[in-house]
Amino acid sequence: MTLKIYHNARCRKSRAGLKYLQERTDDYEIIEYLKSGISPDEIREMLLKLNISASKLVRTQEDLYKKELKGKQFTNDEWIIILTENPKLIRRPVVIGKDKAVIGDPPEELGKMLN
């Protein structure tokens, strides 16, 4: 199965993750989710394959998080809606395979998807 990398070209960590993949495989699809958007179902698939709750997918260093979300309690479904509406809050890059996914920070984490 082709890997999917949820990528933000403006993010240093995401670029490093993509470079790591490019040096090791040709079998991937780049999804620029900040341009195309991301659906609640895509986020649910990501969470299922990462085996984490939605709150663990949130970039807590983003201004939006610090100013509006920090310290507030949200359900998993509420976080999914927040992430759908504010995809910039999603940690990156996320690489999804058939049965699992990893967050490529550091990029070496992506090696788990290539074995």
pLDDT for the residue 1: 67
Mean pLDDT of the chain: 96
Q: In which region does residue 98 sit, left (phi positive, over 0), alpha (psi from -120 to 50) or beta (all else)?
A: alpha
Q: Is 53 a catalytic residue?
A: no
Q: Which residue from 23, 26, 37 is spatially nearest to 3, judged by alpha carbons?
A: 26
Q: What is the 3-state secondary structure (H, E, C) of 33-53?
A: HHHHCCCHHHHHHHHHHHCCC
What number is the average pLDDT over the span 37-54?
A: 98
Write down the catalytic residue from 3, 5, 11, 21.
11
**Coil vs helix vs strand at 32:** coil
Q: What are phi and psi of 58, to 5 degrees?
A: -85, 135
Please state which of the ranges 39-43, 48-52, 109-113 shows the lowest mean pLDDT.
Answer: 109-113
What number is the average pLDDT over the span 60-76?
A: 97
Going along the chain from its start, the domains and CATH numbers come out as 3-113 (3.40.30.10)
